[in-house]
């Protein structure tokens, strides 16, 4: 699919990788509907995209709220005069060991249910609802071909202190296969990109010692940039023979 022909939703697009995707798509002439809980960030993305060949439409979106997802997809379809793509990018971190023992007191500390639910609600349930609503709209309107790009993570292979995040990202990669098989008859492809450590506001908030240790284990010798991930996303969007697979883009890092 040509980028200029896309009428595509980008979730979690107010900053970081999502904002980068939005501007790259608009540079190529695509119409983009961007959603995020951070309204100030959305306004900044729209402002920065003024004058680009494509169009950027923005509206607040909480992907963990099913009704909000349904309303957002309907709005995006109306705003863009159609809908044929989704980049499922929204995500949060609430890291913590499932069970740990306090070194000083010996007290056993468990991962809170709220930490689990928050991450699953955004990274998995919200992402799933977005796919459901976007594909439903495509099928209802006869829009084809269509394309979905799920943003997974190399943490899906397992990463200490990320039971919730790992579960969500692993499920998203697995469902990339499931959905590709289900949506094939509708002319919709589904692919995924799994970033390693990328320079975003999310990773900038990491403990510096942990961050340095991770970077030291990346064979290419540096943290990734949003552009590195965009190149993989662009491939998935454009290659009509790519389907049901996840691309790791991690500089060779093995978590």
Measure the CA–CA gap between 193 and 245, rounded to whole angstroms.
8
Residues in the chain: 255
Give, in order, the Cα–Cα distances in Å from 41 to each of 13, 15, 131: 8, 6, 23
Measure the CA–CA gap between 28 and 120, rounded to whole angstroms.
33
Q: Are 189 and 147 in contact (CB under 8 A)?
A: yes
165: left (phi over 0), alpha (psi -120 to 50) or beta: alpha
Choosing from 72, 165, 179, 183, the catalytic residue is: 165
**Structure-token match 């959905």, residue found:** 179
Q: Residue 208 has which token pair?
A: 């510096």
- Residues in Cβ contact with 156 at an 8 Å cutoff, skipping those fewer than 6 apart: 166, 169, 170, 172, 173, 194
Let me know if 241 is a catalytic residue: no
DSSP category for residue 162: B
Q: Residue 54 has which token pair?
A: 């494509």
Measure the CA–CA gap between 125 and 141, rounded to whole angstroms.
24
Q: Are 247 and 192 in contact (CB under 8 A)?
A: yes
Peptide bond into 145 cis (omega under 30): yes
Measure the CA–CA gap between 82 and 84, rounded to whole angstroms.
7
Query: What are the residue numbers of the active site?
Result: 165
């Amino acid at each position: 699919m040509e980028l200029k022909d896309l009428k595509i939703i980008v979730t979690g697009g107010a900053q970081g990788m999502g904002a980068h995707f939005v501007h790259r798509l608009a540079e190529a002439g695509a119409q983009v509907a961007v959603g995020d809980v951070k309204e100030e960030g959305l306004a900044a993305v729209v402002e920065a995209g003024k004058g680009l060949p494509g169009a950027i439409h923005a509206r607040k979106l909480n992907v963990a709220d099913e009704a909000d997802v349904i309303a957002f997809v309907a709005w995006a379809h109306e705003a863009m005069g159609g809908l044929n793509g989704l980049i499922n990018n929204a995500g949060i971190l609430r890291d913590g060991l499932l069970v740990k023992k306090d070194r000083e007191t010996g007290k056993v500390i468990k991962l809170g249910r709220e930490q689990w639910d928050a991450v699953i609600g955004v990274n998995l349930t919200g992402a799933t609802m977005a796919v459901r609503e976007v594909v439903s709209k495509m099928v209802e309107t006869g829009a084809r071909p269509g394309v979905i790009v799920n943003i997974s993570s190399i943490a899906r292979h397992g990463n200490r202190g990320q039971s919730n995040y790992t579960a969500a990202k692993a499920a998203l990669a697995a469902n990339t296969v499931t959905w590709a098989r289900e949506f094939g008859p509708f002319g919709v492809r589904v692919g995924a990109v799994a970033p390693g450590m990328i320079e975003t506001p999310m990773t900038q908030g990491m403990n510096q010692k942990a961050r340095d240790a991770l970077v030291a284990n990346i064979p290419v010798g540096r943290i990734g940039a949003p552009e590195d991930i965009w190149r993989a996303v662009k491939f998935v969007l454009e290659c009509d023979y790519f389907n049901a697979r996840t691309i790791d883009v991690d500089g060779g890092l093995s978590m």
